[in-house]
Amino acid sequence: MNITKETATSKSQILKYFRDRSSEFISEVNVDFGNTEYKKKARRLNSLLVQAKVTLIEIIEQKSKKENWSNQETLECILMVTYCNYVVMLEVRHSVWPYEYMAFSRRIGELWEPFCKLAFEYPINELELFIPPLFADVKKQLADEVQEYINDLPIEKEQKEQLLKYYNKVWSLVMSGEIKLQLDLHFVFEGKKYVVDFKSGFGSNEKGNVNRLLLVASIYQNLEDNYEPLIFVRAAENNNYFNTLKNSKIWSAFSGDETYDELHKYSGFDIKSWINQNINWVEDLDNEFVEHLNNNDLTQYLTW
């Protein structure tokens, strides 16, 4: 398969490439696993198809640099390769381990996040990704500040020691474990740092996750670097968990079309328009798989 700028519009060619490649992978995997080991087959096939996608993207990156493609030309090629890879990945998974509604709806949501993040990995606007802080470093910084403040108080040494003792006791009760400050995306745009959590949608039992997000956002907002936490949700309709975050005043929360508007604003690329123009799951998936989706009322989840 030859990679050019026209790869961005070569959907049928890329689909054929991945399907032909997947046939090779299936033959290889069938040698290693029996029919009852369908879960192992699915994992191996998924890994092989991901690597096939990575190889094409590496070639796109190399060619784009050598031939001075624009950022948009590079991104659109990578989006098309990624989408076609997703199509074949879903087909192959279903061929060895048929999808039921929970696994399928979850998988479509899982694929959406990394797809959207491509617009930030290959941005049109001037932005850069950054490594999020470690909680251990944040904790140490705060502890040092408190200790310095207490040491400067005009009180007796014993009183300072007692204050530090109480501070450490409260800290140990509140922060009984390490907190993961890494979210799904971290970028700098126009001098401001943004931290992003992507969600396909909110389920009926998200209380623990919402509490964690509130805690993480509150930590970020108390750091000196002036972080802004954003949450991008694919679903247009959401429940009280989403509203809790939206009304918290520490998360800027967006859903549905609002999410795509925000992605466009920061990355500089209108990924929603690209999706509307290029993605047609029902038309692009093979007929047998689409029939299964229709028979099991699963096509409703094919919405990005």
88 with 187, same domain: the answer is: no
Residue 86 has a pLDDT of 98
14 with 120, same domain: the answer is: yes
72 with 103, same domain: the answer is: yes
Strand order in the sheet with 185-189: 127-129, 185-189, 192-199, 228-233, 252-255
- DSSP readout, the chain? ----GGGGG-HHHHHHHHHHHHHHHHHHHHHHS-TT-HHHHHHHHHHHHHHHHHHHHHHHHHHHHHTT--HHHHHHHHHHHHHHHHHHHHHHHHHHS---HHHHHHHHHHHHHHHHHHHHHS-SSSEEE-PPPPHHHHHHHHHHHHHHHHHTSSS-HHHHHHHHHHHHHHHHHH--S------SEEEEETTEEEEEEEES---S--HHHHHHHHHHHHHHHTSTT--EEEEEES-SS--HHHHHHHTSSS-EEEETHHHHHHHHHHHS--HHHHHHHH--HHHHS-HHHHHHHHHTT-GGG---
CA distance 116 to 304: 10
167 with 214, same domain: the answer is: no
**Beta strand 185-189 with 228-233: parallel, antiparallel or unpaired?**
unpaired
pLDDT band at 171 (very low <50, low <70, confident <90, very high): low
149 with 210, same domain: the answer is: no
Residue 141 has a pLDDT of 82
pLDDT at 137 over 80: yes
Residue 237 has a pLDDT of 78
CA distance 263 to 235: 15
119 with 9, same domain: the answer is: yes
200 with 236, same domain: the answer is: yes
Domains: count for the chain: 3
53 with 22, same domain: the answer is: yes
212 with 280, same domain: the answer is: no
Angle subtended by helix axes 271-278 and 71-96, to nearest 10: 50
Residue pLDDT, tens place only, 80-126: 999 999 999 999 999 999 999 999 999 999 999 999 999 999 999 99
Angle subtended by helix axes 38-66 and 71-96, to nearest 10: 170
Domain range for 296 is: 5-124+271-301
59 with 72, same domain: the answer is: yes
pLDDT band at 142 (very low <50, low <70, confident <90, very high): confident
11 with 108, same domain: the answer is: yes
pLDDT at 35 over 80: yes
| C-alpha distance across the termini of the chain, in Å | 28
Residue pLDDT, tens place only, 177-207: 667 899 999 999 999 999 999 999 887 778 8
pTM (2 decimals)? 0.89
Residue type at 250 in one-letter notation: I
Residue pLDDT, tens place only, 247-269: 999 999 999 999 999 999 999 99
10 with 106, same domain: the answer is: yes
**Inter-residue contact 198 to 232 (CB < 8 Å):** yes
